Chains A and B, each alone.
Chain A
Amino acid sequence: MSIQIWTWILVGITFTLYIGIAIWSRAGSTKEFYVAGGGVSPLANGLATAADWMSAASFISMAGLISFNGYDGSVYLMGWTGGYVLLALLLAPYLRKFGKFTVPDFIGDRYYSNVARSVAVFCALLVSFTYVAGQMRGVGLVFSRFLEVDINTGVIIGMIIVLFYAVLGGMKGITYTQVAQYCVLIFAFMVPAIFISIQMTGNPIPQLGFGGADENGVYLLDKLDGLHKELGFAAYTSGSKTTLDVFLITAALMFGTAGLPHVIVRFFTVKKVSDARKSAGWALLLIAILYTTAPAISLFSRTNLIETVSNKEYKKLPEWFGNWEKTGLIKFDDKNNDGRVQYLADASKNELIVDKDIMVLANPEIAGLPNWVIALVAAGALAAALSTAAGLLLVISASVSHDLIKKMINPNITEKGELIAARLSAVVAVCVAGYFGINPPDFVAATVALAFGLAAASFFPAIILGIFSKRMNKEGAILGMLIGILLMLFYMMKFKFDWFGGGTKEDWWFGISSEGFGTVAMIVNFFVAIVVSRFTPEPPEEVREIVESIRIPSGAGDATH
């Protein structure tokens, strides 16, 4: 059977599964809609968190990014896993004990102020919208490459599926579809990785094949370092970013992970505090399976790519090369007209441009794996994109219906009315996300990576101080969040979008990239919050009692309004 028929079959089966789950797990109350009723088991929540977390970027782009950046790609591996240690130790148990529906709920109550709540809603919407647009685009890309439908039709199909289970099932529907999506995406990621690891090193475990040797007994990492040297690239195992920048980017991704609202709310769905800790453990274990495999795929596919195309006759290249050339993700320009592919670091002589996303999407074809494996990758990429999109859409709809309408505009709204408002805002959010997926503004790609900087610069300090400092008051927290996020936005706009006079790499403050600047903005947030709180009134007694109570795990009741 052809790749396309296999893809239709696998995508069809998985989509039917998701819709079936959505119908089975409809939400009947706001509690079910926002936190799945609060009775999700730790393992199910770990599975759902892992799928929620691993987006189109983790599945499709990360291995390719590492492939092209070698050691520098480590920032994503450490950053996007290390954040879970912070989540498990510093946030999840206490926020679960607090027992509300959303992150702005915590900020608003802990800092006894609707101004604080509004700032939190603004940050949550900013972070989630930038992130969700990228997911819808990912859905469209997979459809267009594997099923040869128009990219916009792909986005619309994705929208309809997400709409179906996010609007119908809320958090409850999302949770159980995410459990299924994790299984699909991890299977789809691991099968080709295992095949290729056996092909290249004889070891079926990619994590071990990563340190393995080829048939001549040469370690693959050493071999690739050698190939890179021949072609003029920097050695694969050493980077080209400065140590300071690597340090700060890793930190920004870690603290950002721990401050992302769509990840935090997942911990509101379990029964008790010890379950919140447990599900963080499960989540990281399940995420680590993909994250320790990805750098092995990067190594295998980079070596494979160079060996297959470098200095080979263009006419004799395998079929996949032509397939991907059609999509524009591979470009070949025979500059010296010798009919061979020169792949070199020197831009004036280099004849080959390869998009990073190919490394996962085309990997099975490059390695000559059977058609069903190639189709499986498409189903896995869709699962990764859809599960993250759904989680983000829920945060957006809860911010509007719960934090804005119920908590600020109309506190007397009935339970039924709030549920309708939640569903309506989910519909609007899906449409906005779809619009950005079809007409991606240039800044989407740049801001997805920066969403972490924004989360680190705003939420992380406010939540940590809210738990670990009884003295922290509303003045400190609000000013800290505002200055943190505005500073981050300013730096990002200046150096990514060329606003405020713009600037090049030489103008970066202390040589820090926008990706790493989130850490600086976070430190500024902490500093401002602590200093301001010392010169302004202490928080009221009942707030100190809230803090004392969230530190003790027992008696975590159900999540309430």
Chain B
Amino acid sequence: MDSSKEKKYWKKNLKYLSILLCIWFLVSFVFGILLVDELNTIRLGGFKLGFWFAQQGSIYVFVILIFVYIKLMNRLDKEFGYNN
């Protein structure tokens, strides 16, 4: 097997992972916990925003993150011919 091709694939994978995990950290630990009081001064309908992130928003984003990852990786697999 061509090892430089494998390295390229792995690097791309790591890049996707780090971007997606930054968002994962942001919506839960930052918006839902660390900045919750600041965000609670903003309202989203009947919710305080920080509280909404902690009990609803972060979960929606988690689901979206996994589906984005599936899409990105399927495309990457195809590009590298790893999709058998």
Q: A interface vs B, CB < 8 Å? A: 66, 71, 73-74, 77-78, 81-82, 84-86, 88-90, 93, 207, 210-213, 219-222, 237-238, 243, 246-247, 250-251, 254, 274, 277-278, 280-281, 284-285, 288, 291-292, 295, 548, 551-555
* Interface membership of B42, Cβ < 8 A: no
Within the assembled complex, what's the spacing in Å between the Cα atoms of A73 and B44?
20
Within the assembled complex, what's the spacing in Å between the Cα atoms of A408 and B6?
34
- Interface size, B (range): 35 or more
Q: Is the CB of B10 within 8 A of A554?
A: no
A295 with B69: in contact, given A246-B33, A551-B6, A554-B84 (CB under 8 Å)?
Answer: no
Q: Is the CB of A277 within 8 A of B70?
A: yes
Instruction: Name which residue of chain B comes closest to A244, CB basis.
Output: B33
Q: Of residues B9, B58, B59, which shows the largest number of chain A Cβ atoms within 10 Å of its Cβ?
A: B59
Chain A residue contacts of B45, Cβ below 8 A: 211, 219
Q: Is the CB of A288 within 8 A of B62?
A: yes
Q: Is the CB of B17 within 8 A of A281?
A: no
Inter-chain residue pair count (beta carbon < 8 A): 132
Within the assembled complex, what's the spacing in Å between the Cα atoms of A554 and B81?
8
Q: Is the CB of B82 within 8 A of A222?
A: no
Within the assembled complex, what's the spacing in Å between the Cα atoms of A210 and B6?
48
Chain B residue contacts of A84, Cβ below 8 A: 62, 66
Q: Can you sample 22 A-B contacts with CB below 8 Å?
A: A74-B54, A81-B58, A81-B62, A210-B56, A211-B45, A212-B46, A213-B46, A237-B48, A243-B34, A250-B29, A250-B32, A274-B70, A274-B77, A281-B63, A281-B67, A284-B62, A291-B59, A292-B59, A551-B6, A552-B6, A553-B77, A555-B84
A292 with B73: in contact, given A74-B32, A284-B62, A284-B63 (CB under 8 Å)?
Answer: no
Chain B residue contacts of A285, Cβ below 8 A: 63, 67
Task: Name the interface residues of B27-84: CB closer than 8 Å to any CB of A.
Answer: 28-29, 32-34, 36-37, 40, 44-48, 51-52, 54-56, 58-60, 62-63, 65-67, 69-70, 73-74, 77, 81-84
Additional A-B contact list (11), CB under 8 Å, known A207-B56, A243-B33, A274-B73:
A81-B59, A213-B46, A238-B40, A246-B33, A274-B77, A274-B83, A277-B69, A281-B69, A291-B59, A553-B77, A554-B84
A295 with B33: in contact, given A219-B46, A554-B77 (CB under 8 Å)?
Answer: no
